[in-house]
Structure 1
Amino acid sequence: MKKKRRYFKWIVMMAAGLAIIIAVSYLVVFVNHVMVRKTPEELLAEYMDNIPKQQYDAMYSMIDVKASGNISKEDFIRRNSAIYEGIEVQNMVIEILSYDKKEEVVTYQTSFETIAGQIRFENEATFKKNEGAYALIWDDSLIFPELSSSDQVRVDIIQAERGAILDRNGKVLAGKGTESSVGIVPGKLQDKNDVIQKLAELLEMEPDEIEAKLSEQWVKEDSFVPVKTISRNIAQEAFLEIPGVMITEVEVREYPLKEAATHLIGYVQNVTAEDLEEHEGEGYTVNSIIGKSGLEGLFEKELKGQDGCRILIVDDEGSEKEELACTLVQNGQAIHLTIDAGLQSSLYEQFQEDKGCSVAIQPDTGEVLALVSTPSYDNNEFILGLSDERWAALNEDENQPLYNRFRQVWCPGSTLKPVVAAIGLESCTVDPAEDYGSEGLSWQKDASWGSYYVTTLHEYAPVNLENALIYSDNIYFAKAALKIGAEEMENSLKRLGFCEELPFEIQMGESQYSNTESIETEVQLADSGYGQGQILVNPLHLACIYSSFCNDGNVIRPYLIYQNEAKGDAWIPDVFSKETATVVLDRMKKVVNDPNGTGYAAHREDIILAGKTGTAELKESQEDTTGTELGWFAVFTAEETAENPILIVSMVEDVKERGGSGYVVEKDRQVLEEWFER
């Protein structure tokens, strides 16, 4: 009896368990039905949401393959990815307008961003119900209503013209030019390997480079495949003798002033993968160029412009069927500079064999007329493409043609003396009439200086400010510096813009009065008085300071972008009083116009000039006889009535045994001759 009860109990438990299993199964089926059986509207929204995510596998799983023409998964992905990724779809938004249950058609509106702007359209999506679940019936019109299976979606890029760089008179410093493009038409090749070998030798390329260009996907038998751009001045007969090789004209960026303006203008090159990553979203493509140095890089945003773009549906013959989106091309802006191309070239021609730099400004307005660094290189070479050998030669050249000298700071030597004179006058520590007395050609304050002496080149009398500038007396200005004192010297130089960035479009090196935060010794202070010690000055900064002597004590602000009505703007107003500026100016006139003046070689009968020479010694110690010298000359028109006002500062390295600063004076004299003749 007990055995029967246990058996009955076991049967009941089994039945209860089976009932629970069946109930759970029905619950799972019910939940799955509720969760998976999406409405057509929901299914369409999910499908569209996958497009910008590029989840084409998921999209394919939502279509009824048979009702969609039995399209294969591979063909589906290829068609959708080519179109959506080709036009760069982003930010897709869908709005359901209506649903026809009888026809199982959803009417919707969609919009999304593309490479050519926003696309918006109304469309219909048809669904099919199988075993209670909906699937999308796909064809090409689901991508765009007017798109058929034989049509293509084409993206046309309209290249923006890069803006020109012009001088003050409208002369092109960077603009459109033409060169020769050497290429191959594959269908006309007779012996491919032989042609590639011959062409590689002529173009100084590796055969593999040419082979790679011919193997690109777009190349067809009748395509012209560009291999390399060469100068149109190169003889072309040897290329044209090779069967299958052709030469066409190609538009390139051109720099008419070549070496004369390379460090100022810079150059462009084709974008690299790094450029595309760094400037993502800024409209660059693999075919773009980008400014790499100089003003080409500095004003890249303005010069670049914005490419135009059209997205089209075209039929199987390539004829336009419908325009889907269009962004108009915006050509780059022209950059109009204050630079005078003639003066720029003239300075380069005079100094092209030297290691040096020159800057020129209009001292009344601050317009920068020239910025020259020598030696230089032809920036057009970078447009055509430098060989590894040429790049190595430029980098290894001991004269450093790639080095931009006008942006650097240099020991100014005696060109600082007028500045020290003005500081002394302004601080009432220097009396221009005081005779400091003759010390011969060497002097030291006292025995505490040990073996150190300040030396000079000339003896004269009286030893006052005027003669000290005329004869460029180091001893006088060493004494003047000691009278001024370290604290006043530091504060005055700071007021003149030392230890701060020059307010100018191109970043220049910061002038300094010490390698540390202060002038630390008497000897350093004395040396600073005549532009030695640890004083370093940027040439453009020095030109701006000199402008105060002809602007009633106001330091002009330099600028590079041309203004139709140039008006001088003071960078540092009233740094010197008008009286101080006049005293220094009158004595700087003597430097050029007195026969004893160190700048007398630049004297003119028709125009009154003022200026100062400088020879900066670069050596390890006072006893060092192997050191080199920097030669300086700063010269400017000294009268308000001058018709073509100008201020030039030139510096040349290694002038020792070449006439010192006199070498620079003679070069600038010839530049001024051309300037005033014009």
Structure 2
Amino acid sequence: MKQHFPLKNVQQEKRLFRSRIFIAIGLVVLCFSALIARYVYLQIFHHQEFSTASDNNRIRLQPLAPARGYIYDRNGILLADNYPVFTATLTKADVEDIDSTVKALMPILDLTEDDVDRFNSRIKTAKKTERVTLKLNLNESEIAKFSEVKYKFPGVKIETQMTRYYPYGELFAHVIGYVGRINDKELKTINKDVYAGTNLIGKIGVEKSYEDLLHGTPGNESVEADAHGNVLRYLGRKDPARGNDLYLSLDYGLQTVASEQLAGRRGAIVAMDPNTGEILAMVSSPSFNPNLFVSGISSKDYSGLRDNLDQPLYNRALQGVYPPGSTIKPVEGLGGINYGVIDWSTKISDPGYFHLPGDSHKFRDWKKTGHGIVDLNKAIQESCDTYFYILASQMGIEHMNEWMRQFGFGSKTGIDLPNESSGLYPSPEWKMRTRKSKWLRGETISVSIGQGAFTATPIQLAMATSIVSNQGNHVVPHVLSNTKGSKPFPIRNAPDGRVTFTGTENDWLKMREAMVNVINSGTGRGIRTSAYQIAGKTGTAQVKSIAQGKKYNESILTERQLDHGLFVGFAPADNPQIAIAVILENGRHGGAAAQLARPVFDYWMVKRKNNPIRPMVHQVTGSLMTAGIQPGQLPSGQSILQPSTNAAVNKEKKATKPQSSASAPSTSNSASQADISE
């Protein structure tokens, strides 16, 4: 039996087909409407926002680090130069896995753990498109190895950057200082926009004091880059502004002469213009090579400097605190006149010792038999301790403290260099605050000859000597003489006040005459000259205390237990142009320090005008590269660097600080043997 199916309903199928078509068309229209709406939303209402985002992916604003300003001496000799080096950099935006990339680059670029640590610190705070340095100063081998595998490291580039070079190495190290890689602590305080793209910052010396002037103003360039960070074209550029050039008051020739005097010895020499406060020379010996620090000193090299018994990193001129010995007697004598305790006719009879009323303890003079009848002139000329013992006992520690502080003792001089020590001029208040005990009368006696707790720095001694030489005008030591660039900076080359003095101008002149007598016929007669007149004062500072009743015996002392030798002076005496302070550690007596000052005086007063010392480097364009001098090399034929500090003394187990090791002052302290062989 056949089954019959109903005939198709054509009309119904057409209606269904048309419905489906309308629905499909509706969906298409709806989708196109949504697409158009989204297009309108993106292209019209948010055009600027997304256009900027697109440009940021394609166009980058890369910082351009400024070159540091040059540093010159007073004669235009270049002391701090810039030169280009090859540097490996990485951009955060172009590297997906920074850690693995750096790890892969370690054997290729010979990266050390220090390099990686410095990079990791900087990359954390860097902007997305900022180029961060992986390693400075790449050599040819490292560049060649990277070139072979460059395609594996998108976002890593080899480019040139400017770095610092100090052509005279150790000669100016403690004054100019050095630059080094920016560390974590500095990253927290610097303006990251100002230092974008910059790796180096001043660490010590002039480089640190005048960082704001030397650094300059960064620029930028706009570039179009592909997805791999490769630059397709340059769109615009704002050039960076180089930092100010600094002209220091230092004289290359005088610095060389002063350095040669201290070669192989420990000590410091400071020379300054007593009328303006300009530092003419500042040498601390031994010294170090600042170029080691620029691109990152190795742990081995740094340990060698840090652990060296002679402490080459220690700036003795600014930080070394020493008992000043008898060098302060001219200042103290003027103090006695100021307070009416003595005048130029006041005389004493010196038996070779002094004791306080009611106390049997003897404070001995350096001359065992005494100096006989002594007035102030003779007391300065022969450095009579007994005269100043008596003066101090009558003046009192309060007046002494008040007077000596006017000459800069006990406080920083204000020199435009960092890390200056203040020294110490003791007082009863100081002792009670720090040692919880009362001031003893014997301590006043010790302080009167620059011993006991009294300490001073060479720069303080130079400033005090300048004030004596210019009859009471207070000058502030400074090394910056002039600056050239876009950032103006005021420089004061004049006294900023006067010492309050109740005496007369004639008293200053008589003290000058007494100091001339020191050189002509007194304790400093070994450096007298007929070419010009020197006024000066020698001093000896004990390192090892000598007990009451004991004799000073050099034969039983080690080399580092011998007395320090000191000297201060100025020339010419009637119209001072230069004031000098010298400390010769373990030099035994002040006469040895005076011998070091004489060539410095001679160069400035006689030889400088007709036969100035100049470096054997062609200084025309402001770069050593033009003279064919390569970084790390010194011009041949010069003997201006300090000798190696790896002397036999390094075999000793303990380092000694460059200051007195005398015991705390008391009524039986070290004053009994001060100024031996002065």
TM-score of the superposed pair, with normalisation by structure 2? 0.67
Tell me which residue corresponds to 2:668: none
In structure 2, relative to structure 1, the CA distance for the partners of 1:559 and 1:334 (3 Å cut) is same
Distance 1:593 1:387, change over 3 A: same
Worse overlay, 668-677 or 313-322? 313-322
Q: Quick check: 1:401 aligned with 2:312?
A: yes
- Shift of the alpha carbon at 1:433? 2.5
- In structure 2, what is the Cα distance between the partners aligned to 1:334 and 1:138? 44
Write the letter of the residue equivalent to 1:637: A
2:555 corresponds to 1:636: no
Letter in 2 for 1:338: S
Worse-superposed segment, 398-407 or 531-540: 531-540
Per-residue CA deviation, residues 216-247 of structure 1 (Å, 9 max, x unaligned), is 9xxxxxxxx9866389xxxx999999997999
Aligned with 1:610 (options 535, 546, 551):
535
Pick closer, same or farther for the CA change 1:367–1:587 going to 2, 3 Å: same
User: Which residue of 487, 497, 512 corresponds with 1:585?
Assistant: 512
Indicate how the Cα distance of structure 1 residues 174 and 238 shifts in structure 2: closer, same or farther if over 3 A, else same: closer
In the other structure, the counterpart of 2:472 is 553
Shift of 1:480: 1.7
Q: CA deviation at 1:138?
A: 10
Residues 162/227 of structure 1: CA separation in 2 closer, same or farther (3 Å cut): closer
Question: In the TM superposition, what is the alpha-carbon distance from 1:513 to its structure 2 partner?
Answer: 2.2
Aligned to 1:532: 451
| Corresponding residue to 1:491 among 402, 418, 429 | 402
- Aligned equivalents of 1:67 and 1:506: distance in 2? 72
Flag the 1:66–1:672 CA change in 2: closer, same or farther, 3 A: farther
Contact 2:219 2:240 in 1 (8 A): yes
Does the 8 Å CA contact 2:571/2:601 hold for their aligned counterparts?
A: no
Q: Is 1:650 aligned with 2:582? A: yes
Q: CA deviation at 1:303?
A: 0.8
Q: Which has the larger displacement, 350-359 or 457-466?
A: 457-466
- Residue 455 of structure 2 aligns with an amino acid whose one-letter code is L
Residue number among 166, 171, 179 corresponding to 2:77 in the alignment: 171
- The aligned residue for residue 334 of structure 1 is 245
- Letter in structure 1 aligned against 2:567: F
Q: Distance in 2 between matches of 1:670 and 1:573?
A: 31
Match for residue 53 of structure 2? 143
Superposed CA deviations along residues 540-582 of structure 1, whole A, max 9, x for unmatched, are 2222222233323223232322159985314434446422211
Change (3 A) 1:240 1:353: farther
Retained in 2: the 8 A contact 1:276–1:285?
Answer: no
Instruction: Give the count of matched residue pairs.
Output: 518
Distance 1:509 1:67, change over 3 A: farther
Q: 1:673 aligns with which of 594, 602, 611?
A: 602
Are residue 158 (structure 1) and residue 64 (structure 2) matched? yes
CA distance in 1, matches of 2:270, 2:370: 33
Whether the aligned pair in 2 keeps the contact of 1:68 and 1:137 (CA below 8 Å) is: no
Following superposition of structure 1 onto structure 2, how do residues 369-384 of structure 1 map, counting pairs within 5 Å? 369-384=280-295
CA distance in 2, matches of 1:137, 1:362: 67
Unaligned runs of 5+ in 2: 1-29, 90-102, 124-132, 151-157, 432-438, 484-490, 609-678
Cα distance in 1 for partners of 2:391, 2:529 equals 31
SS in 2 for 1:488: helix
Q: Which moved more, 1:313-322 or 1:578-587?
A: 313-322
Map of 1:306 onto structure 2: 217
- Which string of whole-angstrom CA distances, capped at 9 and with x for unpartnered residues, describes residues 641-665 of structure 1? 56xx111101121223xxx222211
Q: Which has the higher contact order (CA 8 A, sep 6+)?
A: 2
2:44 match: secondary structure:
strand
Q: Which moved more, 1:545-554 or 1:258-267?
A: 545-554
SS of structure 2 residue aligned to 1:360: strand
The secondary structure found in structure 1 opposite 2:387 is: helix
Does structure 2 conserve the Cα–Cα contact (< 8 Å) formed by 1:651 and 1:664? yes
CA distance 1:580–1:517, change in 2 (3 Å): farther
Which of the numbers 564, 568, 575 marks the counterpart of 2:494? 568
Maintained 8 Å contact 1:258/1:377? yes
C-alpha spacing 1:244/1:461, structure 2 compared with 1 (3 Å): farther
> Given residue 462 of structure 2, which amino acid in structure 1 is its aligned partner?
A
Partner SS for 1:437: strand
Q: CA deviation at 1:411?
A: 0.8
Q: Return the alpha-carbon distance in structure 1 between the equivalents of residues 568 and 245 of structure 2.
A: 32
User: Partners of 1:207 and 1:498 in 2: how far apart?
Assistant: 42
1:269-306 deviation line (CA, Å, top 9, x unaligned):
12234432321444223642111111111111111112
